[in-house]
Amino acid sequence: MAQTIHKGDVVQFIEGHKWIGCLGIVTEIKDCGDRKRYMVGVPAPMQGTAYIFDDGSGIERIGRAVMVAKEDEDEAEGID
């Protein structure tokens, strides 16, 4: 069964991925023709946030983030 991943979801990188076991938050979803690309923000202590793109095959949805950094209103328009 295919999982549905939305912006703001918490995901974990699964087996076979370089970032296996790391948790991140989906910050952006891009439609690329017949597939989607997910930009996942992974906090790196003392470094900031690493943004990793995945086509959905290397991540598994864990749940929904409760607290997410606020976006500018212009950027948030049209986003669910």
Buried b / exposed e along 35-65 (16+ C-beta atoms within 10 A) = eeebbbbeeeeeeeeeebebebebbeeeeeb
Select from 72, 69, 74, 73 the least CA-distant residue to 7: 69
Its pTM stands at: 0.76
pLDDT at residue 15, as a whole number? 84
- Percent of the chain topping pLDDT 90: 52
How does pLDDT run across 39-50, given as a tens digit for each residue?
Answer: 999 988 899 999
